[in-house]
């Protein structure tokens, strides 16, 4: 867990509340930090997933082709972690916000399914889902929450082909319609909230930069500074699970 953020300056909080109060069209981009308070490790934090594993080793199609079992051991470990995780107050605050504003769209980079578990509806998973398995042979794709999986690597019941995690790996393209919808919504929103992301992975981070380039107000929530922090209307040095409930009281 990142160091506890210092107490929030009231002025920043007030500004954030003001942005939220007047917003009818809200777009939210979340990253791994949003699930940190649910006990799911982030990618680039001190205990980040990537610390123990290098992304090139595991989250790429080449790595999977080279050693499907190793890649699957990593995903099996993560599925086990996520299976124990529950949505945190940040996830729940977004569900309340969605119910309150006329237009809402949540685009998450997370593959853990915690937003859906909390009840978010108008959302897309830009990087897929750790709970989806896709057959490399026949392309069949299904949700499978079994943990542990009966065998590693798992095989397709239909054609016997190798199953892969239904996530987007480095070098793979994102679901283009979901990405396009998020970028367009960001360009036309009254407020874009960017929470729990280091904003280094593209094109997902492009949802945030699209709002900035369109001159829309962006509210960042992150205990650490990021490349966006100096560009946004308000950057709250805070944990999303602590501050979002205050903003969406
Ligand atoms: C694409 C799914 C082309 C799998 C992920 C050089 C070489 C190779 C590629 C590239 C390159 N340069 C650029 C690229 C493109 C690459 C990229 O952007 N690389 C980055 C690293 C530079 N992007 C791609 O490859 C993308 N595809 O470009 O394809 C293409 C185009 C068209 C047609 C064909 C091909 C695909 C990217 C998707 C990769 N998949 N994950 C899996 O999860 O296993 S990325 C992975 O990183 C996760 O999805 C994660 O969400 C995402 C982003 O990280 P964050 O979410 O931001 O998490 P991070 O740990 O970094 O940060 C956490 C933040 O939370 C921190 O800032 C921390 O302070 C904060 N925090 C901590 N606690 C809290 C908190 N905040 C709030 N509250 C708290 N409590
Ligand atoms: Zn198959």
Would the CB of 109 count as within 6 Å of ligand 1? Answer: yes
Burial 71-108 (b: 16+ CB within 10 A, else e): bbebbbebbebbeebebbbbbbbbbebbeebeebbbbb
* The pLDDT of residue 8: 80
* The pLDDT of residue 188: 98
Q: What average pLDDT does the segment 12-18 reach? A: 96
Nearest to 134 by CA among 158, 161, 166: 166
Which ligand is located closest to the Cα atom of residue 39? 1
User: What percent of the chain lies above the pLDDT cut of 90?
Assistant: 86
Say which residues have a Cβ less than 8 Å from residue 220's Cβ, sequence separation at least 6: 193, 194, 195, 226, 228, 229, 232, 234, 235, 236
Ligand 1 atom at shortest distance from the alpha carbon of 240: 78
Would the CB of 201 count as within 6 Å of ligand 1? Answer: yes
Name the CA radius of gyration of the chain, rounded.
Answer: 18
Would the CB of 38 count as within 6 Å of ligand 1? Answer: no
Nearest-angstrom CA–CA distance, 112 and 232? 27
For residue range 218-227, list pLDDT tens digits in order.
Answer: 999 999 999 9
Would the CB of 240 count as within 6 Å of ligand 1? Answer: yes
Which band of pLDDT confidence, cut at 50, 70 and 90, is reported for residue 136?
A: very high
DSSP 129-196: EEEEEEETTT--EEE---SS-SSSS-B-TTT-PBEEEEEPPTTSPP-HHHHHHHHHHHHT-SEEEEES
Q: What average pLDDT does the segment 108-124 reach? A: 98
Residue 6: pLDDT over 70: no
For residue range 29-64, list pLDDT tens digits in order.
Answer: 999 999 999 999 888 776 666 556 776 678 999 999
The answer to whether 115 is a known catalytic residue is: no
Would the CB of 224 count as within 6 Å of ligand 1? Answer: yes
* The pLDDT of residue 55: 66
The per-residue pLDDT of the chain, averaged, comes to: 93
Ligand 1 atom at shortest distance from the alpha carbon of 48: 60
Which residue's CA is minimally distant from atom 45 of ligand 1? 201
Q: How far is the CA of 163 from the centre of ligand 2 (A)?
A: 7
* The pLDDT of residue 42: 85
Ligand 1 atom at shortest distance from the alpha carbon of 1: 73
Residue 1: pLDDT over 60: no
Q: How far is the CA of 202 from the centre of ligand 1 (A)?
A: 7
Q: How far is the CA of 6 from the centre of ligand 1 (A)?
A: 26
Q: What average pLDDT does the segment 204-220 reach? A: 98
Nearest-angstrom CA–CA distance, 97 and 37? 19
Choice among 40-54, 121-135, 141-155 with the minimum mean pLDDT: 40-54
Residue 172: pLDDT over 90: yes
């Amino acid at each position: 867990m990142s160091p506890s953020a210092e107490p929030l300056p009231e002025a920043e909080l007030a500004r954030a509340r003001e942005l939220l109060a007047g917003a009818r069209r809200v777009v939210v981009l979340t990253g791994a930090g949003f699930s940190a308070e649910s006990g799911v490790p982030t990618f680039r934090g001190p205990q980040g997933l990537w610390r123990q594993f290098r992304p090139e080793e595991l989250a790429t199609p080449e790595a999977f082709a080279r050693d499907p079992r190793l890649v699957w051991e990593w995903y099996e470990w993560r599925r086990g972690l996520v299976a124990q995780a529950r949505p945190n107050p940040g996830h729940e605050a977004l569900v309340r916000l969605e119910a309150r504003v006329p237009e809402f769209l949540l685009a998450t980079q997370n593959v853990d399914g915690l937003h859906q578990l909390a009840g978010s509806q108008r959302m897309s998973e830009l990087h897929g889902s750790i709970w989806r398995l896709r057959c490399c042979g026949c392309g069949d794709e299904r949700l499978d929450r079994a943990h542990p999986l009966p065998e590693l690597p798992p095989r397709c019941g239909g054609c016997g082909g190798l199953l892969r995690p239904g996530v987007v790996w480095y070098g793979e393209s994102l679901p283009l319609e979901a990405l396009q919808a998020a970028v367009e919504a960001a360009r036309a929103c009254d407020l874009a909230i960017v929470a729990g992301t280091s904003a280094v992975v593209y094109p997902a981070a492009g949802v945030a930069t699209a709002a900035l380039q369109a001159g829309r107000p962006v509210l960042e929530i992150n205990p650490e500074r990021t490349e966006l922090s100096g560009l946004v209307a308000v950057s709250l040095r805070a944990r999303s699970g602590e501050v979002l409930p205050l903003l969406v009281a």
